[in-house]
Chains A and B, each alone.
Chain A
Amino acid sequence: MRRTKRFSMEQKKARWGWIFVTPSLVFFAVFSFYPIFNAFYLSFFRKNLLSLKPPAFIGFGNYTYLFSSPLFKESVVNTAIFTFGTFVPLLVLSLILAAFIMSRKRFQKFYQMVLYSPAALSSVVAAMIWLLIFDPRGLANQGLNLLFSTSGVNYHWLSNDTMLRLSTIIVYVWKYVGYFTVIFVAGIGAIPNTLHEAALIDGADRWQDFWHITFPLLKPTTLLVSVMAMIQCLKTFSTQYLFTTAGAPRQPINVLTLNIYYTAIKDHSIGRASAMSVLLFLVMLVFTWLQLRLSRTEEVTYM
């Protein structure tokens, strides 16, 4: 007697679910998980990228080298300066811009589109545009000279250590502020109007409404944006790379990703570069875990 296997609706859904996610899983396995595991593996070896010889196992040799390397310390410090220097203005500006957009009755979508457009631009193109602006004869010097009523003062946007760091921060904030503004706009939009109306009936002005209603209820979004911005900043590469190839000094903006690139591609030391990548990965993992944990504890539900 022939037995026909009957699947419940749940099982059928699960089967179709697997069918749909399998291509993505395969893609991630090949292009993300495999390189991650390979980087972990290679970080314990000394390996020249060009050499045909098998890699030599050196245990934690690459890690101990990195912790005593002044160049690595320099790039950790540069990454920290860039990350904190960028994510604070990104967070504050995007929140202000989102509040401004939501306060407008018309052209909300237009403002969002204008602010978001730099995020759609390639990082290379963005850096090229800003290189022209920061050129000693460019708009940045002209603008500041006009503002301070001076003539011919060179603010050394691409050569002075502090100004160079500031330049990379400006490029990044300009590029991503629109992206995070859109997230804040969505967060503000999710707050029920009834809460604002109740506050207004109770006599709150717009400022009080923002500080006592909008801002506290935006906490999960703020946490999400701050962690996302921080992770994004840790991965910065193109701006620093293009600025250094255009003649800016490397030392003040030698962030971790730039150090990884030079170590692997220019110095062919793939084991050491992998160890750096693993350390960067672990830092980002901590931030991601933090994001998930905080977003769970700070969840807001509107009944």
Chain B
Amino acid sequence: MKRLSCLLVLALVMSLSLGAHAAKVIEITYWTHTDDNRTAIENKYIAEFEKMYPDVKVKRVVNEASKMGDLVLTAFSANRGPDLFNLPIEQEYGYIMQNRVSPVDYAAIGYKNADALKADYMKGTFEAVTKGGKIYGLPLELTNWCIYINKKIFRSAGLDPEKDYPRTWEQMADISEKLVIRNGDIIMRRGFDFRYPYYLVSLLPMVEQLGGQLISDDGKKAIVNDQAWLKVLKFMKEWGPHGRNLGSPTYPAPRKIWNKDNNDMAMCLSGFYQQGRLRIDNPAFFDSKEWMVVPFPKFKDAVKDVACSYYGHFLMVNAQSSKDKQEMAWKLAQYMLSHPMEYLEVVNIIIPRKDMLSSKEFKANPYMDVFMGDMDRGHSVFLHENGYQFERFIGDAVQAVMLSNVSEQQALATLRQRIQEVLDEQ
């Protein structure tokens, strides 16, 4: 009986110790968007990380990029957000403002403080994710857009791509007129077309070139410098079917069809990552050297030299996760991001770490000087808690002038009234 009791006690102690061990396992949920190349390398890093920290299990969940914002938002609104996630900074900004993400744990990722972390990255990298002196995210990628040109199409229209590429928006319209092929009103080949939904990234800089702003510096007044806005809206109207009929938001996205080299898109606006996609979609065209990249144009009478805004995806940690999960999530983020060269070579995304940016291998990438030059000319995308709402209102104004033939003045008046209403409510 005594022996049996001893055995029972021993079994109880063993099961308790096993239970305690099991409870120690930290499971980190990491939500990210689809990208097969990135999935391959990150799964490898996660396996290595789990070996380094045997008590940590990482669950990497991949979501469709277009649905990622809605999914993360609904999860956070139900207080069930992932421990680690990434989104475009325009979306992440709201999470910082609403205190839903935790500040970077500098000690966990091997830094003394925020300044030490900043010192390892390109200047201005953390501006978008800094609040009250604290940094809230680590950059997974920083992207800006330049103009990709199909040289063959230029030559077919009697243009020399090296000399005749557009430097100004006025030239862009004139060159597109030479490149466009129409069957009646229907455009069969476009010279260039815009990336319509992304008005804060690519259209607002055009307004800024002419001295305009979306909201005043004190954040109280909508639309600064009417003339700048009117000129850009007029330019867009001229671009559309009621003007010179050079393009429209209802044609397929230029970036997607440019890769096909099907003689239907001469120029498109895209980031460095386009090259990685081109290499996969159309290796023959990628290797042909029949394409080139040139800087984002500016207006002939621009008062400011502003390139396309850069935006980023930052890895962020849920402020509602337990402290040990937060610490491990930061460690995991830092471990993955400590391979910037592999992200560049395999995924074609730029993690703006100084050691990589200054390396020979980085500079040897095609047209990297163009992208980095425009990065210097540009600034981070406009950030505001209601940024998406503003972008939608700008989109409505552009579509009104381009597609519904509304006057620029009327479209601007509606835009101003809508944005002002949001600002006044705050």
Using CB atoms and an 8 Å cutoff, list the residues of chain A in contact with chain B: 48-52, 71, 135-137, 141, 150-154, 156, 158-161, 245-251, 262, 265-268, 270
Contact = CB atoms under 8 A, between A and B. Distances in A.
Contacts of A158: 250
B396 interface: yes
B404 A265 contact: no
B103 to A, nearest CB: 16
Given A141-B186, A154-B241, A246 B95 contact: no
Contacts of A141: 186
B399 A262 contact: no
Contacts of A159: 241, 248-250, 403
Nearest to B187: A136
A51 B399 CA distance: 32
Nearest to B182: A152
A49 B100 CA distance: 11
A265 B248 contact: no
A160 B400 CA distance: 10
Contact of B100 (A50, A136, A150, A152): A50
B37 interface: no
18 contacts: A49-B73, A50-B73, A136-B248, A137-B188, A151-B183, A152-B185, A153-B186, A159-B250, A159-B403, A249-B400, A249-B403, A250-B396, A251-B399, A251-B404, A265-B70, A266-B388, A266-B389, A267-B386
Given A49-B73, A50-B76, A247 B249 contact: yes
A8 to B, nearest CB: 47
Contact of B396 (A136, A137, A156, A249): A249
B303 to A, nearest CB: 31
Contacts of A246: 250
A158 B249 CA distance: 9
A267 B389 contact: yes
A277 to B, nearest CB: 15
B196 interface: yes
Interface of B: 66, 70, 73-74, 76-77, 94-95, 98-100, 182-188, 196-197, 241, 248-252, 386, 388-389, 392, 395-396, 399-400, 403-404, 418
B265 to A, nearest CB: 13
A154 B185 contact: yes
A49 B386 CA distance: 13
Given A136-B186, A251-B396, A52 B73 contact: no
Nearest to A247: B249
B249 A268 contact: no
B98 A52 contact: yes
Contacts of B404: 160-161, 249, 251
B98 A262 contact: no
A168 to B, nearest CB: 14
3 closest A-B pairs by beta carbon, nearest first, are A152-B184, A247-B249, A249-B399
Given A50-B98, A136-B250, A248-B250, A265 B185 contact: no
B247 to A, nearest CB: 10
A270 B389 CA distance: 14
Contacts of A152: 182-186
A142 to B, nearest CB: 9
Contacts of A137: 186, 188
Contacts of A154: 184-186, 241
Nearest to B72: A50
Given A49-B77, A50-B73, A154-B185, A268 B94 contact: yes
B230 to A, nearest CB: 20
A137 B181 CA distance: 13
Contact of B392 (A48, A247, A250): A250
Contacts of A156: 241, 250, 403
Contacts of B399: 249-251
Contacts of A265: 70, 73-74
Contacts of A52: 98-100
A150 B186 CA distance: 12
Contacts of A71: 418
A193 to B, nearest CB: 52
Nearest to A51: B98
